[in-house]
Amino acid sequence: MLADLWRLNRRLKRLRCPVCNADEPAEILRRDRYLLDVRLSVCRTCGTTYLARGLAGETASAFYGGIYQRLMRTADASPALIGAQRLAAGYRAHVLRYVIGPLDEVLDIGTGLGFFLDACRQSGSRSYHGIEPGPVQRHFAEDELGLGGHVDGDGLDAARALSFRPRIVTLFHVLEHLEDPGSVLALAAGWLPPDGWLVIEVPDVSEWAGLGLQHVHVSHRSYFTPETLGILLARHGFAIHRQDREEHGIHPGNLRIFARPGAAGDDRIPGVDAEALAAESRRRIEAFDVRKGYPRAAFRLLRLATGR
């Protein structure tokens, strides 16, 4: 495991800002929770927090097909953890029904184990489909939840087949993992009708204190706040309709955005003091704290590597 992480570290590439494409990072921290050299930074142009060094192209697909599953312990997830995901999905479906109405024509990008689709089906949805690149998760959705035919692992591009035109596109804790989040929002904008909905959940990094170094992770390339996510959405023709923030539950500092096509909001980038933002984030992450910083991260890494 440690050798694989070392090899991965050598394959990481310099990355541009996923929101504005600038290459002007103000560094917060050099290393992530696996001690990989990811250069967590604030973009000097738009103020987005992102990894200035990370996964790109084939390294990314190889990572998600291999070492990511081991780091996340996907194969031996405990029944309690799986149960928590089922509850979270039911709660999401409930909130979405409250805001949107009936959940039909749902396309769930990054569907994971499939519990949200299962909740849509239970609430009477006739058309629902999930896209999940991880084979372990996909097989769980198909075999354990009986979602065969409603999940695929095909790539996300304009040429991919859809069995129905989605009215609701959901991305729950997915956008922050994508190499080019804007291209996926552009696809969603092309699919959705004018009365459609885009629902996104990401961790909100307006407040790093509740997240900490554990959240600085090679697979998280973008770290959004309501402001930076709003800029990205506006650039792709979406206006924010509603936002919810839940401190606890699904994820610490969970941010849920309901956006709709058209009437794009203001996508101008306000002036940012990236150095001050980086310093403030560094202070709140407390990366050198014994209990929650690098010492703890190194200890967990050793436990993971020795399989305990």
Give residues in contact with Zn ion (CB under 5 A): 17, 19-20, 22, 43, 45-46, 48
Q: Which CB sits closer to Zn ion, 194 or 271?
A: 271
Contact 17, 48 (CB under 8 A): yes
Q: Which CB sits closer to Zn ion, 48 or 111?
A: 48
Q: Which CB sits closer to Zn ion, 173 or 235?
A: 235
CA dihedral 174, 175, 176, 177 (to 10 degrees): 60
Contact 105, 77 (CB under 8 A): no
Distance between CA atoms of 32 and 10, rounded to whole angstroms? 14
The alpha carbon of 37 is separated from its chain's Cα centroid by a whole number of angstroms, namely 20
Q: Which CB sits closer to Zn ion, 108 or 176?
A: 176
Q: Which CB sits closer to Zn ion, 38 or 169?
A: 38
Q: Which CB sits closer to Zn ion, 22 or 186?
A: 22
Tokens coding 77 = 């997830």
Q: Is 15 helix (H, G, I), strand (E, B) or coil?
A: coil
Any idea how long the chain is? 308
Least spacing, CB of residue 202 vs Zn ion, in Å: 16
Backbone dihedral region for residue 47 (phi beyond 0: left; psi -120 to 50: alpha; all else: beta): left
Q: Which CB sits closer to Zn ion, 81 or 276?
A: 276
Least spacing, CB of residue 135 vs Zn ion, in Å: 33
Mention every residue, 6+ apart, whose C-beta is less than 8 A from residue 106: 117, 120, 125, 127, 128, 129, 166, 167, 168, 169, 170
Q: Which residues pair with 172 in a beta bridge?
A: 201
Single out the residue of 173, 85, 166 nearest to residue 128, CA to CA: 166
Contact 8, 63 (CB under 8 A): yes
